[in-house]
Amino acid sequence: MSLDVVWHDVECGGYGEDVALWRQLAETETRGGEGPVLDVGAGTGRISLDLAARGVAVTALDSEASLLAALDERAAAAGLWVATVVADARSFSLGEARFGLIVVPMQTLQLLGGVDGRAGFLRSARAHLQPGGVVAAALADALDSFDSESDGLPEPDAAEVDGVRYASRPLAVVDEGDRAAIHRLRQVEGAGGAITSETHDVIRLDRVSAAEIAEEAEAHGFVAESALRIPATDVYVGSTVVVLRATGGLDG
């Protein structure tokens, strides 16, 4: 397994609080609950594989080919079929494909580089929706700044793969104005607990509210419906899921 797959699984794989919500949307927003659903920023398939196992036709899109290769392998091992597309969420074109539902789980919408990146995504998504189709995207609740010296270290996300322990520990959330930078220490522990590698990773999340997304989406032919909530857990912040329905009249 490649290292980016391992770290993706360590940092995203344990999250499950949102699964019921995506299942419910697939059920209500696609005919007979059968899809088709487009999972944007699908990663190794946490949500795509779950929906496919429930009989939903899913296309998984991600910019990272290695993550989608892992998804392909896992789908095959489970006897499932998920179409995978390596593409940028800000400028994708899937030919004639049209979806009843486009989901954007976790904070992927906040990884697109601000208002211009979101505009590219909204334009692409709108063009690939069936009439009256829906984009549903999760936004993480505002992250409080913290640093390990003053606030102590949270427990790491960790997993053991082939006898090697991979642990990713949040070190700090730094306010960068319109973004929050999440700093993590990634440690690999070999036999006997010795640290064999240590790297510092930073992910920057755009700060954007559901109301701002609703306003941006209107210009691309969407109307925002009532947002949904994914509650916080002891480990994960809560999220607001913006629900954007395609209005008539535009392309798509």
Ligand X SMILES: C[S@@+](CC[C@H](N)C(=O)[O-])C[C@H]1O[C@@H](n2cnc3c(N)ncnc32)[C@H](O)[C@@H]1O
List residues near ligand X by CB under 6 A: 12, 41-43, 46-47, 62-64, 67, 88-90, 105-108, 111-112
Q: How far is the CB of 41 from ligand X (least distance, A)?
A: 3
**Closer residue to ligand X (CB): 228 or 247:** 228
Q: How far apart are CA 252 and CA 245, in angstroms?
A: 12
The DSSP-derived string for the chain is: --HHHHHHHHHHTT--TTHHHHHHHHHHHSGGG---EEEET-TTTHHHHHHHHTT--EEEEES-HHHHHHHHHHHHHTT---EEEE--TTS---TT--EEEEEE-TTGGGGS-SHHHHHHHHHHHHHTEEEEEEEEEEEEPPPPPEEHHHH-PPPPEEEEETTEEEEEEEEEEEE-SSEEEEEEEEEEE-GGG-EEEEEEEEEEEE---HHHHHHHHHTTTEEEEEEEEE---SSS--EEEEEEEEPTTS--
**Closer residue to ligand X (CB): 6 or 112:** 112
Q: How far is the CB of 50 from ligand X (least distance, A)?
A: 10
**Closer residue to ligand X (CB): 183 or 247:** 183
CA distances from 181 to 38, 108, 168, 218, 251 (A): 28, 14, 15, 28, 36
**Closer residue to ligand X (CB): 5 or 188:** 5
**Closer residue to ligand X (CB): 61 or 172:** 61
Which residue, judged by CB position, is nearest to ligand X in the bound state? 41
**Closer residue to ligand X (CB): 16 or 132:** 16
Q: How far is the CB of 252 from ligand X (least distance, A)?
A: 19
Q: How far is the CB of 107 from ligand X (least distance, A)?
A: 6
CA distances from 217 to 66, 104, 114, 181, 182 (A): 31, 14, 13, 25, 27
Q: How far is the CB of 106 from ligand X (least distance, A)?
A: 4
**Closer residue to ligand X (CB): 18 or 29:** 18
Q: How far is the CB of 89 from ligand X (least distance, A)?
A: 3
Q: How far is the CB of 88 from ligand X (least distance, A)?
A: 4
Give Cα 210 to chain centroid, integer Å. Answer: 16
